[in-house]
Chains A and B, each alone.
Chain A
Amino acid sequence: EVQLVESGGGFVQPGGSLRLSCAASGFTLSSYWVHWVRQAPGKGLVWVSRINSDGTIIDYADSVKGRFTISRDNAKNTVYLQMNSPRAEDTAAYFCARDNQLGYNYYLDVWGQGTTVTVSS
């Protein structure tokens, strides 16, 4: 079965750090770009970051730039999101998703179940 599984969420204090993981099974993650999307409680979906298949192209939302770092270990079929200096407004469910492509069109076709991050003192 093709799936993504996130882990690493939990409680973290403002200014602390947390690393989220996104592990793939049923397909070779190294062939795909991967995105992180978050959803604050009761709110909508917000794009956070993306990384290309070999880790050489990376983008971030302005709200996390300079604080979050996306990376990947293709040998482990895993993508990471390192969250440094988190703020209360980073409290959310974090989803990783596979970026599929048809020509020059891109879409997130496989999503993990999400991992919840709560930033609080």
Chain B
Amino acid sequence: DIQMTQSPSSLSASVGDSVTMTCRASQGIGSHLNWFQQKPGKAPKLVIYIASSLRSGVPSRFSGSGSGTHFTLTISSLQPEDFATYYCQQSYSIPWTFGQGTKVEIK
């Protein structure tokens, strides 16, 4: 199975800050990497797909990059609604696997 490792596990930031989180795959996965946002008690929502494609309706302050084994999700100018947990997920091979999540908290 491909292991996905996210860092940091949590971060504190203020509204207006720019934050970057990292996701590493245990083997090369090309661009088969997706990012999800999840708020407490809610279903995950797709934010970025195929490593860098912004899902329709998602604000342009979200951006993704990377390929192979190293990926990043950046949120520029954090807004109050962005405080949530973010998960990366590989769709390169079965079983699909998720990172353990990065929780973005209000400083």
Contacts and interface: CB of A to CB of B under 8 A. Distances in A.
Contacts of A88: none
Interface stretch (A10-18, A43-51, A71-79): A43-51
B62 interface: no
B34 A44 contact: no
A107 B96 CA distance: 10
Interface residues on B, range: 20 to 34
A105 B95 CA distance: 15
Interface string A17-50: 0000000000000000001010000001111001
A109 B46 contact: yes
Contacts of B42: 113
Contacts of B95: 47, 59, 61-62
A114 B43 contact: yes
Contact of B43 (A46, A62, A106, A113): A113
A46 B49 contact: no
A95 B43 contact: yes
Interface string B27-63: 0000110101010001111100110010100000000
Given A105-B31, A109-B55, A35 B44 contact: no
Interface of A: 35, 37, 44-47, 50, 59, 61-62, 95, 102, 105-109, 111-114
16 contacts: A35-B96, A44-B100, A45-B36, A45-B87, A45-B98, A45-B101, A47-B95, A47-B97, A102-B50, A105-B49, A107-B46, A107-B49, A107-B91, A108-B36, A109-B55, A112-B43
